[in-house]
Amino acid sequence: MSVLPPTAPGSQTSLREANRARVVDVLRRYGALTQVEVATATGLSPATVSNIVKELVAAELLEVRATSRSGRRAQQVSLARTVGVCVGVDFGYRHLRVVVGDLSQRVLAEQRLPLPADHRADEGLDRAALLTGELLERIGSAPSEVVSVGMGVPAPVDRVTGEIGSATILPGWGGIRLAERLSARLHVPVHLDNDANLGALGEVQHGAARGCEDAAYIKVSHGVGSGLLLGGRVFRGHGGTAGEIGHVTIDENGPVCRCGNRGCLETFVRAPVLMESLRATHGSISLREATARALAGDPGCARVIADAGRHIGVAAASVCNLLNPQRIVIGGGLAAAGDLLLDPLRDVVDRFAIPSAAERVSVVVGELKERAEVLGALALAAEMADVPSAASR
């Protein structure tokens, strides 16, 4: 959503307003930046940016703080707290994480809550609304200060209807317009997306995909999904289901998947499947415990994780051949295994991706870890927020 105001061509006033709006848009999309970085991102001269910043600070639209870059003093610019706050909500299969931040995506308060297995939509939305209220109270903000909410769910989202695209992937949530229901609870616009898309957004703005125009974020946890970045933007496809790498067939004779197909990537690497393969030798353990044991030298756990890496590598190689990404970022709970997972994954990508794609892609662990999706939700909220221009203040 753009805040660029309608302008009359050739008008000096309209040009000044357009430049102001351009600065605001950049800060909303990328968060706090130095004045030099704002000039680079907007294409405006440093002198023009300096004048705009002074004007918008006086209008209480921007804030400036002293900072440093490469050992040199600099002025960091961000959208002012008085403009409002945004909320990011991340639903997992068994957790809820909520952050409140300003429109420059600076986190002001954050909390994670466990959720019962197979929780219903209304139960989760009620908890999200209550937790949002608690966090706002913690930072001394009123509910009326919230201008936008971003929300992620571990399932495909139909862009036309706003509903969960598959009731089998997130049982009990299908056919529900989640954004509308949370909006009714919070009385503010809510923007819904798949959690892997938001993980990609978080990593490109604040993490391991910074500076990448074309990249893929693959989340491996209770389920498997991916977010695709093309031209620096999240690519969602015609209906919103692009990136469902967990349901790419890697063995047509493999196990039947919960989506109804056979041999999907998820049937080999989602957490419940991996843990079941260890049950006979290790009993009932969590993905976190299995990863810790693998890193400590447990051969069984290490083998299961390495096999998962190879399976993911088959699908990742296809992503390389189709999209030729600069970077593949691995997130989710399994990413904590580090090179135990990534080394076999890289080997398979090298074998099955065409050489020109394989030699140009780097495969790395996400920097934001379990916070990638919720920070992406906050970024989505900031991007979609309506921010007044200086002229309207």
Tens of pLDDT along the chain (393 residues)? Answer: 444 444 444 567 788 888 888 888 888 878 888 888 899 989 999 899 989 989 888 888 888 888 877 777 888 888 887 788 999 999 988 899 999 999 889 899 999 999 887 778 889 999 999 999 999 999 999 999 999 999 999 988 888 788 887 655 667 787 788 999 999 999 999 999 999 999 999 999 999 999 999 999 999 998 899 999 999 899 999 888 899 999 999 999 999 998 889 999 999 999 999 999 999 999 999 999 999 999 999 999 999 999 999 999 999 999 999 999 999 999 999 999 999 999 999 999 999 999 999 999 999 999 999 999 999 999 999 999 877 654 444
What confidence tens digit (pLDDT) does each residue in 116-132 have? 877 788 899 999 999 99
- Do 269 and 357 share a domain, yes or no? yes
- Do 101 and 56 share a domain, yes or no? no
* Residue 204 lies inside a defined structural domain of this protein: no
CB 180 within 8 A of CB 192: no
Query: Where residue 38 sits, what CATH number does that domain have?
Result: 1.10.10.10
Domain end among 53, 79, 105: 79
In the chain, how many domains are there?
Answer: 3
**Alpha-carbon separation of residue 190 from 37, 141, 236, 349, 371 (angstroms):** 30, 18, 18, 38, 19
Token pair recorded at residue 266: 């998820």
**Which residues pair with residue 89 across a beta bridge?**
98, 151
348-375 burial string, b = 16+ CB within 10 Å, else e?
Answer: bbbebbeeebbeebebbbbbbebbbbbb
What confidence tens digit (pLDDT) does each residue in 318-339 have? 999 999 999 999 999 999 999 9
- Do 342 and 269 share a domain, yes or no? yes
- Do 174 and 91 share a domain, yes or no? yes
User: What's the whole-model pTM score?
Assistant: 0.86
Structural domain harbouring 287: 210-366
- Do 179 and 274 share a domain, yes or no? no
With CA atoms as reference, report the closest residue to 371 among 104, 90, 182.
Answer: 90
- Do 235 and 279 share a domain, yes or no? yes
- Do 362 and 234 share a domain, yes or no? yes
